[in-house]
């Protein structure tokens, strides 16, 4: 129901855009999230966007480098990542929120896309 | 930022034993706490939300309890397939901000 794409190897300082294609539910009714996991490490919440494409939130480590967006007409979620750092290397998962029109957590997860930042 | 601390880091038990996992928040999160199970090479799976509500498909041997800043995930009788890392997660509603605990690894002897 969620399929991420766009992950690849990039050099530090470069940009990358991740995409997530959603299906099987009313996309426009749910907040959507990005969560990441560095190899061998725990889960880290990255960002959320509300169902109306108006409200966003970010983890402290983002520091203005990432922008989340969505296109409800295309059932698509995006994460624009700029000024990438080595420590941004991780699997990036998109996830559907638990409840309609609320921020609770992560009900449905994609399989993830790998971002590697290295020189 | 609310910090979640999970303990123990690792739990090693026999099949059939009871597992008790703890999650403590640095400040109250009311009842907005969820638990996830992650097996190697897989995406996490939602087990429990709102501290004690089982997600669809969660076996009833899994139960969640707690409120405020202290929460517990209990697995009443461990099965071999319960070997995994378990994460707790909270949310602050405004501005929207979510975070995970560091995880508890459950090993089945």
Lookup: tokens for A6: 């766009």
Query: In this predicted model, what pLDDT tens digit does every residue of B28-44 receive, in sequence order?
Result: 988 899 999 999 999 99
Q: Cα distance from A41 to chain B (closest Cα, Å)?
A: 9
Percent of chain A with pLDDT over 90: 97
Q: Do the Cβ atoms of B61 and B75 come closer than 8 Å?
A: yes
* CB nearest A104 (choices: B49, B85, B102): B49
Q: What is the pLDDT of residue B18?
A: 98
Looking only at the bridges linking them, the beta strands covering B10-13 and B104-108 are parallel
DSSP-assigned letter for residue B55: P
b/e burial code for range A51-88 (CB count within 10 A of at least 16 → b): beeeebbbbeebeeebbbebeeeebbbbbebeebeeeb
Q: Is B13 exposed, middle or buried (0-12, 13-18, 19+ CB in 10 A)?
A: middle
Radius of gyration of chain B (CA): 13
CB contacts, 8 Å: B49 with chain A: 98, 104-105, 107
Q: Is the pLDDT of residue B96 over 90?
A: no
Lookup: tokens for A74: 């295309």
């Amino acid at each position: 129901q969620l399929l991420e794409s766009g992950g690849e190897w990039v050099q530090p300082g470069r940009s990358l855009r991740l995409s997530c294609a959603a299906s099987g539910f009313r996309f426009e009714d749910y907040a959507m999230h990005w969560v990441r996991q560095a190899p061998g490490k725990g889960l880290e919440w990255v960002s959320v966007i509300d169902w109306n494409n108006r409200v966003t939130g970010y983890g402290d480590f983002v520091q203005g480098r990432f922008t989340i967006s969505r296109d409800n007409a295309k059932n698509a979620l995006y994460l624009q990542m700029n000024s990438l750092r080595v420590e941004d290397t991780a699997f990036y998962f998109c996830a559907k929120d638990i409840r309609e029109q609320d921020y609770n957590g992560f009900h449905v997860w994609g399989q993830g896309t790998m971002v590697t930042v290295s020189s | 930022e609310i910090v979640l601390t999970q303990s123990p880091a690792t739990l090693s038990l026999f099949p059939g034993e009871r597992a008790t996992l703890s999650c403590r928040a640095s400040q109250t999160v009311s009842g907005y706490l969820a638990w996830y199970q992650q097996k190697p090479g897989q995406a996490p799976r939602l087990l429990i939300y709102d501290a004690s509500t089982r997600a669809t498909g969660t076996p009833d041997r899994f139960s969640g309890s707690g409120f405020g800043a202290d929460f517990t995930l209990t697995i009443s009788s461990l099965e071999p397939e319960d070997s995994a890392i378990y994460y707790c997660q909270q949310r602050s509603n405004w501005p929207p901000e979510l975070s995970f605990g560091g995880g508890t690894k459950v090993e089945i002897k």
